[in-house]
Structure 1
Amino acid sequence: MSLVRLEISSVVVGEGTVSSMVILKPHRRTAPSAKLPIRIGSVESTAISMGIDGSQHHRPMTHDLLNDVIVSLGGRLVSVVINDVRGTTFFAQLRIVTSAGSQVSVDARPSDAIALAVRAHVPIFAEEEVVDTASLPDFSSVEAEERREELKRFHDFVEGLTPEDFALDRGDVRTAADGTLSRPSQASSHERTSGPDERASELGHPREKPGQDLRDDLADGTNTAEHPGS
């Protein structure tokens, strides 16, 4: 199987119910963008963080000690490889060249292997099958593509706009001879609001003229109103 070179994206030092994790990503975008999260212990996550920071101690910590032992025996660590995953458990190997020039592989936990790699400044690899099986997709690229599609749709919408699209009521807007937009006068005969008499006629109830009832009463002598001098 081919190997994919990885680098540390972030280290999460968990507390309580929050798990500690080390998140790996492809080295310098030389592979499909994906992230490989590995759950580790809080002690191991602290050890990796200290190795990245290059913190110095009066006495060697465990991973510093292991690296010193390898060098003292004439060997050197050349790389670490995450070579398998079963469920949520990852497996790794230390690739060491001995003083005789031969290469040996030593089984290790990924957290220990990574903590040693950052101290020895050696590359971290993973089997391609492990990356394909356990990596998370790069959602940032998906979000970027969605933003591009939204911008394209908005651009197409703006390009298709016409002056009429800005009118609230197209019937109230006219285009003059010079191409400008104008609103018809409210005094136009076809838009004039009907008066009370016209509305009454439309409803089938002719409106009587003012005083009509009084004249009718005077004519037939039925008016009962009192007048001075009667």
Structure 2
Amino acid sequence: MNLIELFVQGISYTHTQNSAYALLLSTVKTNRKLPIIIGAFEAQSIALAMEKDLVASRPLTHDLFKNFAESFSINVEKVIIHKLIDGVFYANVVCESFERQVILDARTSDAIALALRFKAPIFTYAHILEKAGITLDETEFMEDENESIDEINKEIDDILDNLSNKSTNPYANYSIEQLNELIEKAILDENYDEAAKIQEVINQKK
């Protein structure tokens, strides 16, 4: 399958989920966009990587990863968003060190934050764009087009809400208190896959 290159178009706050943001990726050759729900911390990290004039007072987690990797001659070659299941995107970080290539599984938001820091290209496949992509005007994220931004944000919200409704995460309707109890039990039982699902919902509710 041929890879389609993407670039980060911008980040928009989404009103459908608390403390959630829409990361908008755009194809290089078309006007097709790929919206991805990310948390506030990841949004901040990506925004800092996009703005050269903004520097965190202390290294963020992704900055630490980059410093650590470079200290051991590890480079991020590219990021591939390779799968979409129940509204959740899956990504691989392709690394290279001393002519050895290693592929690491990563959350898409983390993978993109690293790609920006390493100036590595971001790719996905056509079937993912067909399933979750949208087409928007080129006026989005322009500060002097408030009316257009409102319309675009509403469309992004609708898309993200639709993606969220497709999720089969059984913990979506639990309260924070219930989720905290469940995640503690899952960790005690060493059921880390289940703990990850619960943590995902906790992050969305914060």
Into which bin does the TM-score normalised by the smaller protein fall?
0.5 to 0.7
Q: Deviations over 1:61-99 (max 9, x none)?
A: 100011111111112111111110012100001110012
* 1:19 alignment partner AA: A
Mapping 1:155-166, distance limit 5 Å: none
| Larger strand fraction of residues | 2
For the residue of structure 1 that corresponds to 2:58, the secondary structure is coil
If you compute each CA radius of gyration, which structure gives the higher value, 1 or 2?
Answer: 1
Counterpart for residue 27 of structure 2: 26
Counterpart for residue 102 of structure 1: 100
Counterpart for residue 90 of structure 2: 91
Counterpart for residue 10 of structure 1: 10
* 2:37 alignment partner AA: R
Mapping 1:201-212, distance limit 5 Å: none
Counterpart for residue 168 of structure 2: none
For the residue of structure 2 that corresponds to 1:115, the secondary structure is helix
Cα distance 1:139–1:57, how it changes in 2: closer, same or farther (>3 A)? Answer: closer
TM-score by length of 1: 0.55
| Residues 80, 94 of structure 1: 8 Å contact kept | yes
Displacement of 1:102 in angstroms is 1.5
The root-mean-square deviation of aligned C-alpha atoms, in Å, is 1.9
Whole-Å Cα distance in 1 between the matches of residues 5 and 23 of structure 2?
15
Higher relative contact order (CA 8 A, sep 6+): 2
| Residues 6, 126 of structure 1: 8 Å contact kept | yes
Counterpart for residue 109 of structure 2: 111
Q: Deviations over 1:120-174 (max 9, x none)?
A: 111111122211211013467xxxxxxxxxxxxxxxxxxxxxxxxxxxxxxxxxx
Deviates more, 1:111-120 or 1:11-20: 11-20
Counterpart for residue 43 of structure 1: 41
* 1:81 alignment partner AA: I
TM-score by length of 2: 0.61
Whole-Å Cα distance in 1 between the matches of residues 19 and 102 of structure 2?
36
| Residues 76, 98 of structure 1: 8 Å contact kept | yes
Whole-Å Cα distance in 2 between the matches of residues 2 and 65 of structure 1?
32
Whole-Å Cα distance in 2 between the matches of residues 138 and 58 of structure 1?
36
Structure 2 residue runs of 5 or longer lacking an equivalent are 139-206
Q: In percent, how many aligned pairs have the same letter? A: 29
Structure 1 residue runs of 5 or longer lacking an equivalent are 141-230
Whole-Å Cα distance in 2 between the matches of residues 23 and 14 of structure 1?
11
| Residues 13, 45 of structure 1: 8 Å contact kept | no
Displacement of 1:2 in angstroms is 1.1
Whole-Å Cα distance in 2 between the matches of residues 45 and 136 of structure 1?
20
